[in-house]
Amino acid sequence: MATLQKTGRIGPLRMSVENWLPFSYVPYYLPCPEIFNIKLQYKGEKPFQPVTWSLYPQPKLLEQGPTELLTLTPWLAPIVSEGTFDPELLQHIYQPLNLTIGVTVFAVGKYTQFIKHFLESAEQFFMQGYRVRYYVFTNDPAAVPRVPLGPGRGLSTIPIQKHSCWEEISMCRMETISQHIAKTAHREVDYLFCLNVDMVFRNPWGPETLGDLVAAIHPGYYAVPRQQFPYERRHVSTAFVADGEGDFYYGGAVFGGRVARVYEFTRGCHMAILADKANGIMAAWQEESHLNRRFLLHKPSKVLSPEYLWDDRKPQPPSLKLIRFSTLDKATGWLRS
Amino acid sequence: MIFLELFLQTAEKHFMVGHRVTYYVFTDRPADVPRVPLAEGRQLVVLEVRNYARWQDVSMHRMEMISNFSRQRFLREVDYLVCVDVDMKFSDHVGVEILSPLFGTLHPGFYRAAREGFTYERRPRSQAYILREEGDFYYAGGFFGGSVVEVLQLTTACHQAMVVDWANAIEAVCHDESHLNRYLLYHKPTKVLSPEYLWDERMLQRPPFLRKLRYVAVPKNHTEIRN
C-alpha cells in the first residue's frame, strides 16, 4: 500500500507504489487528497439470490460452443463473446438483484459533441431493464444535451477542469474517477463502467459484462503476439512491461467492475501516473499503458472480447459475431445523422 | 475410519500444498483417528458427533453437522470450506484453481447424460424435486464447497429441506446429493469442477479427455462398511 505524507514534505522520500515498485523521489511536492485515507462504506454486498425458474437448453460438457474465440483465460476468468452465454438466463439471475450500474464518460472541449449519440445508443442497448446512472464529466455542463432516459435511469453532470492538451485530460481521468467514487459513486452504484464517450452501442451490452474487475481486449491487438503490444517499454516508467510478459493488450476505452474494485484500480493507476510525473515521464499511451501494467499484475476477473470494444474502421472478422460497442466513425457517422 | 489415514496421507501430498489447511474430521470415535504427520501450517481438528444406524442417515446428517459447525467455528477459523467424502484418495494436484464463492463437482457417472437421465428427485412431494426439463449438471455429493458463508447457506438450506421431507415421511432418492443438486440448480455455483476432481476407476472407463485423475474412489466392500 502506498503511503503518502498528508502534507507535502520537502526532502527525499522513499516510497513504494502498491508494493511492486520501490524507488526514491527527488524532492517533489505532490498533491495529497484526503481520499487516499478514507474508508468507504459501499452500497452493500448482496448475498446470492435463488434463480427464478426458467427453461433453457442443457449445457453439455462434451460439446464445444459455437464461438471460435478463447473462452477462458489461464487464470480462469471468462472471456465474454456471443455464444458463451445465455442472455435470458443471465437476466433471470441478475434482474432480482436490483443492481445499479454506473457509467463514467469524459466529454471535455469538443468531445461534448459525442454525448448525444453515446447516450441515445446506451438507452437502446446498455443494461436494458437495470437501474443506470450516467456520470458525465465535462468542462462545459451547458453543452450536455438533454437526452430522454428510460425509467430507473439518471444522469449527473460533474464539472471538471479543461486541460491544455488531450494527453493531460486522459491522464487525469483515473484521479477524477477515483475521487468521484470516494465522494459519490460508492453510495449510488454497485458496478461501475468507465467508457470513452466517442463511441456508440450497436448491440446489447448486458449483465454478462458484470464482474469484480472487468477489462476489454483492444481491437487492434487481439491477434498480435505480446512482443508487439504497445506496452510502455522504458524501464524508468511505472507502466513498464518486459518483453516476455503480457496476457492481452487491453483497451483504455472500457474497464469496470464492482465499484470497490474500480476504486482500487483507478487509485492504483493514478499513483503510478503521479510517480511517472515526478520522474518527468509520460507513458507511451498515457492512461492505457498504466491500465495495461496494472491488469498484468491485478488480473481482471472477467475479460470482454473485442465485441465490446471495436474500431469501426476495421473490417469485422468472422470470428466476431456481434459488435456491441465501437468507435463512432468520426469522419462521417455523426455528421450524417 | 479405515479410509482416513490414506485420505490424509494423499491430501498431504496433493491438496492445497503450500497453503494453510485445517482438516475437520467428524467422527463418533475420536480415539481412533490415526496420527498422520502433517506439513507446516496444516492441522487436524477432531469433531465428535453421533453415529446413525443407517448409512443414509449418516450421509444426510452431514449437512446438519457442517451447517452447525460452520456457524460455531468455521466462519471464524477458515476462509474456504471444502466438503469431501473420506472413502477417497488424492492422486494428483488439487489446488487453488478450485476456489470460488460456491463450487460443485460434476458427478463422474452423469457428465455425458441428458438431463432427463439425471437421478434427480422426481417426486413433487419432496423438497428436492426437479422437473425433467430442468437441470444444468448432476453434481456429486462427495465434493462441494466455497466460502464459509456460502457453504453455510447451502448446508442450512439442504438440512432444512431434509427436515421438511422427514416430516412428510419422504426421503430423497439420492439423499443429501438430491438436495445438493436442487440447491445448486437454483443457486448456481460460481465454479464447476470437471470429473477429474471426482472419479471412480473401477466403475467407469476413463475417457480420453480426462487428462488427470485427481481425487478417486478407494475400492471398498460396500455391504461390509455400510452395516
Is residue A74 less than 8 Å (CB to CB) from chain B?
no
Is residue A148 less than 8 Å (CB to CB) from chain B?
no
> Comparing C-alpha atoms, which of B50, B87, B58 is closest to residue B175?
B58
pLDDT of residue B226: 60
Are the beta carbons of A61 and B194 separated by less than 8 Å? Answer: yes
pLDDT of residue A282: 87
Are the beta carbons of A61 and B137 separated by less than 8 Å? Answer: yes
> Comparing C-alpha atoms, which of A227, A206, A231 is closest to residue A304?
A206
Find, in chain B, the residue whose alpha carbon is nearest to that of A54.
B134
Are the beta carbons of B114 and A61 separated by less than 8 Å? Answer: no
Q: Which of B64, B121, B177, B196 is catalytic?
A: B177
B181 pLDDT higher than 90: yes
Structural domain spans, chain B: 3-226
pLDDT tens across B98-129, in order?
Answer: 999 999 999 999 999 999 999 999 999 999 99
Rounded to whole angstroms, the Cα distance separating B41 from A289 reads 40
Q: What is the mean pLDDT of chain A?
A: 85
Q: Write the residue in A47, A50, A61 that is nearest to B186 by C-beta.
A: A50
Pick the CATH number of B3-226 from 1.10.287.1080, 1.20.1250.20, 3.30.70.20, 3.90.550.10: 3.90.550.10
> Comparing C-alpha atoms, which of A87, A89, A90, A58 is closest to residue B131?
A58
Q: How confident is the model at residue A15 (pLDDT cuts 50, 70, 90)?
A: very low
B5 catalytic per annotation? no
ipTM (interface predicted TM): 0.88
Overall average pLDDT of the A131-151 stretch: 96
Q: How confident is the model at residue A7 (pLDDT cuts 50, 70, 90)?
A: very low
Is residue A56 less than 8 Å (CB to CB) from chain B?
no
Q: How confident is the model at residue A55 (pLDDT cuts 50, 70, 90)?
A: confident
Overall average pLDDT of the A144-148 stretch: 95
State pTM to two decimals: 0.87
pLDDT of residue A19: 39
Residue A79 burial (CB count, 10 A) = 18
Cell of A308: 465490446
pLDDT of residue A335: 39
Q: How does strand A153-159 pair with strand A131-138?
A: parallel
Q: Which of A8-22, A116-130, A219-233, A282-296 comes out lowest in average pLDDT?
A: A8-22
Are the beta carbons of A48 and B187 separated by less than 8 Å? Answer: yes
Q: How confident is the model at residue A137 (pLDDT cuts 50, 70, 90)?
A: very high
Q: How far is B191 from chain A (nearest CA, A)?
A: 9
Q: Write the residue in B115, B133, B150 that is nearest to A48 by C-beta.
A: B150
DSSP SS3 for A5: coil
Rounded to whole angstroms, the Cα distance separating A18 from B16 reads 27
Q: Which of A208, A287, A288, A307 is catalytic?
A: A288
Are the beta carbons of A58 and B111 separated by less than 8 Å? Answer: no
Residues in A touching B97 (Cβ below 8 Å):
76
For A193, A211, A277, B86, B90, the CA distances from A214, given in Å and listed in that order, are: 9, 6, 27, 38, 35
Q: Write the residue in B106, B115, B186 that is nearest to A58 by C-beta.
A: B115
pLDDT of residue B224: 57
Find, in chain B, the residue whose alpha carbon is nearest to that of A56.
B134
A268 pLDDT higher than 50: yes
Are the beta carbons of B106 and A51 separated by less than 8 Å? Answer: no
Higher per-residue pLDDT: A3 or B27: B27
pLDDT of residue A64: 77
Q: Which of A9-18, A170-179, A254-263, B174-183 comes out lowest in average pLDDT?
A: A9-18
Q: How many residue pairs from chains A and B have C-beta atoms closer than 8 A?
A: 35
> Comparing C-alpha atoms, which of B47, B74, B135 is closest to residue A61?
B135
pLDDT tens across A101-112, in order?
Answer: 999 999 998 899
Find, in chain A, the residue whose alpha carbon is nearest to that of B133.
A55
pLDDT of residue A62: 87
pLDDT of residue A8: 41
pLDDT of residue B59: 82
Q: Does B107 show up as a binding residue in the annotation?
A: yes
Q: How far is A45 from chain B (nearest CA, A)?
A: 12
Rounded to whole angstroms, the Cα distance separating A129 from A126 reads 9
Q: How far is A210 from chain B (nearest CA, A)?
A: 13
Q: Does B87 show up as a binding residue in the annotation?
A: yes
Overall average pLDDT of the A43-54 stretch: 58
Q: What is the mean pLDDT of chain B?
A: 93
Q: How far is B48 from chain A (nearest CA, A)?
A: 31
pLDDT tens across A16-41, in order?
Answer: 333 333 343 333 444 554 545 556 66
Rounded to whole angstroms, the Cα distance separating B95 from A102 reads 36
Q: How far is A305 from chain B (nearest CA, A)?
A: 20
> Comparing C-alpha atoms, which of B17, B2, B5 is closest to residue B92?
B17
A329 pLDDT higher than 80: no
Q: Does B149 show up as a binding residue in the annotation?
A: no
pLDDT tens across A269-289, in order?
Answer: 999 999 999 999 888 899 999
| Residues B92 and B187: beta-carbon distance below 8 Å | no
Residues in B touching A50 (Cβ below 8 Å):
186-187
Phi (first) and psi of residue A245, to 5 degrees? -110, 160
Q: Which of A249-253, A264-268, B29-33, B205-209 comes out lowest in average pLDDT?
A: B205-209
Higher per-residue pLDDT: A124 or A34: A124
